[in-house]
Chains A and B, each alone.
Chain A
């Protein structure tokens, strides 16, 4: 029988990265994500990996992209201000189809904000932070063990689809310590990028096949709109290439959607949540069900691409939809769009750096449902 151990969210992320095969990390100190780099600075050299503290977050994400083209699974971790600095290179990773993982432990914002307080204010930035249309996958987690699993999953998706994957944590989860049994080697699937079978006539930007530098592919990598060979292209060629990299994620929206669906079969009211707030929702749903209310809960793990079909089917018979999130209203806009006026959609937010409590959520649902919303 394996024993439980007390593990912090940030440590679970770092350990998940090593488990997934991450062998390069570059970062810049920032609360509340710094423990990820501290752990990897100690542990990566032991497994032959490299951990670098860079001069800023622009350098961190750029070094990660360089390392990924060297063939390494690579990651960086930051919080709001650093995440803002990284946006240009995240776009570069998207258009150059560079596998990499970016962890953002969210804190109160904007700007320096509340560095030691919790927030879920980067949901839209994670999707649209860099300029231009681009593919991105954004995952989140609610529990320390889930941080580990989602970090592994983030690497798997990055490697499989040649795409930057963002893992949205938050200050509470990053610093939270929980008793967990973390996965053993072999327990979780670990995916690595696919290499070309042959280099003759190899087209490095035709699909998800990846040829690292030094492997003889004569690969040209550029952030400019490019053709399948990697050379600058404009007009129709540029549009076709961009459409391909957008569709490789968009067309897989349903299979990329990770979620928990609870008590939805008979639900009159549906709560949709993600990340740290899901923990409060779990308790709120328990309280409401004990009161005899037909409340269901959709717990989203994949935020982007936003799972339209899933949310539509889960809210089809609902008379009321509540989206609690620690911001002024971000993911709720997606829910509103999908629900399309079939039921009232409400947002429950906080900006003070404290968590939404189960009681707040339960009270809101009780008020609305009893009023016959």
Chain B
């Protein structure tokens, strides 16, 4: 199947602003599903609330647009009663680690076979550009008009520390890498996190003198360093840079499989 066949093309154009990176990530997800030749009837996309959550409406399969921060727990319930379903999450940064932070770290710890794609644009876009737990320090938003005084979460590092078993980070600039990591995340048995740094020209850009989407994409390219080169950098050289690539991979019993082993044992009367 072609990637278009995984999308409800009749629902296009999407709701995102001109120049937004979310369409590119969603495009990459559709390509990944197509390249994996997944059966759309056995695949589900679960989105949260926010710009990223709207991706769920675009996939031509069972899909759910959940409450804010809770996509990962809706998906946990779903996956436990439908273990054969491939379940992909489209989360925003605020959704995943702001309001949903507790659910997110527990999903990492539980290691349910879900693939979370985190559209990280460093801001609350849908509500009008408020500061996020991912907004870099000193950066402006509508609720940090004098510059952000808080320090942001590093989502990928948080996921690794909390126990996610596949963690990769890339940018919406790196289209082939997005597809590659999403495919590997889905193929990996366990909780996979693919953090995609992306740009919000409408709010983040306008408020931080980065109005041009193309310029924003380039800034991301310049700010990021592939993990292969990261080791060679000194602490000083790493300042202000973000490491990207396949950051973590670990084999650990997957929760749904473990639970069904328990069920099999209990049914045999052990």
Using a CB–CB cutoff of 8 Å, the interface residues on chain A facing chain B are 23-24, 26, 45-46, 48-50, 52, 54-56, 58-59, 62-72, 74, 88-89, 92, 212-214, 216-224, 231-232
Closest chain B CB from A33 CB (angstroms): 19
Contacts of A50 in B (CB 8 A): 80-81, 259, 263
- Selected contact of A222 from candidates B44, B64, B78, B85, CB within 8 Å: B64
Asked whether, in the complex, the Cβ of B103 is within 8 Å of the Cβ of A67, the reply is no
Contacts of B262 in A (CB 8 A): 45
User: Given A50-B259, A218-B60, A70 and B73 touching (CB < 8 A)?
Assistant: no
A-contacting residues, B6-54, CB 8 Å: 11, 40-42, 44, 46
How many of chain B's residues have a CB under 8 angstroms from any CB in A?
38
Asked whether, in the complex, the Cβ of A63 is within 8 Å of the Cβ of B77, the reply is yes
Contacts of B67 in A (CB 8 A): 62, 88-89, 92, 223
Asked whether, in the complex, the Cβ of B77 is within 8 Å of the Cβ of A65, the reply is yes
Contacts of A54 in B (CB 8 A): 73, 106
- Selected contact of B65 from candidates A26, A64, A214, A223, CB within 8 Å: A223
Closest chain B CB from A131 CB (angstroms): 12
User: Given A48-B267, A50-B259, A218 and B62 touching (CB < 8 A)?
Assistant: yes
* Residue B66, interface by CB 8 Å: yes
- Selected contact of B80 from candidates A70, A217, A220, CB within 8 Å: A70
Contacts of B42 in A (CB 8 A): 214
| A-B pairs with beta carbons under 8 A, tally | 132
A-B contact pairs, 12 of them (CB 8 A): A45-B263, A48-B263, A49-B263, A59-B76, A59-B103, A63-B80, A69-B74, A217-B62, A218-B60, A219-B63, A220-B57, A223-B66
State in angstroms the CA–CA spacing of A364 and B70 once bound together.
49
Closest chain A CB from B163 CB (angstroms): 13
CB closest chain-B residue, reference A64: B77
Contacts of A67 in B (CB 8 A): 77-78, 80-81
User: Given A88-B67, A219-B62, A223-B66, A55 and B102 touching (CB < 8 A)?
Assistant: yes
Contacts of A70 in B (CB 8 A): 77-82, 85
Asked whether, in the complex, the Cβ of B106 is within 8 Å of the Cβ of A55, the reply is yes
Closest chain B CB from A293 CB (angstroms): 52
State in angstroms the CA–CA spacing of A223 and B65 once bound together.
7
Contacts of A231 in B (CB 8 A): 11, 57
Q: A-side binding surface: helix, strand, loop or mixed?
A: mixed
State in angstroms the CA–CA spacing of A68 and B11 once bound together.
27
**What are the 5 closest A-B residue pairs judged by CB atoms, nearest first?**
A66-B77, A63-B77, A70-B81, A67-B77, A66-B74
Asked whether, in the complex, the Cβ of B266 is within 8 Å of the Cβ of A220, the reply is no
* Residue B178, interface by CB 8 Å: no
State in angstroms the CA–CA spacing of A210 and B76 once bound together.
20
Asked whether, in the complex, the Cβ of B77 is within 8 Å of the Cβ of A62, the reply is yes
Using a CB–CB cutoff of 8 Å, the interface residues on chain B facing chain A are 11, 40-42, 44, 46, 56-57, 60-67, 69-70, 73-82, 84-85, 102-103, 106, 259, 262-263, 266-267
Asked whether, in the complex, the Cβ of B84 is within 8 Å of the Cβ of A214, the reply is yes
Contacts of A92 in B (CB 8 A): 66-67
User: Given A23-B81, A213-B44, A62 and B66 touching (CB < 8 A)?
Assistant: yes
CB closest chain-B residue, reference A222: B65
CB closest chain-B residue, reference A24: B81
CB closest chain-A residue, reference B68: A88
Asked whether, in the complex, the Cβ of B266 is within 8 Å of the Cβ of A45, the reply is yes
Closest chain A CB from B215 CB (angstroms): 33
State in angstroms the CA–CA spacing of A52 and B77 once bound together.
9
CB closest chain-A residue, reference B44: A213
State in angstroms the CA–CA spacing of A68 and B259 once bound together.
18
User: Given A213-B44, A218-B62, A62 and B70 touching (CB < 8 A)?
Assistant: yes
Beyond A45-B267, A224-B65, list 7 extra A-B contacts (CB 8 Å). A24-B80, A45-B259, A52-B80, A59-B76, A66-B46, A71-B82, A218-B60
Please indicate which of the listed interface residues B62, B67, B102, B266 has the most CB atoms of chain A within 10 Å of its own CB: B62
- Selected contact of A55 from candidates B60, B85, B103, B259, CB within 8 Å: B103
- Selected contact of B73 from candidates A48, A63, A223, CB within 8 Å: A63
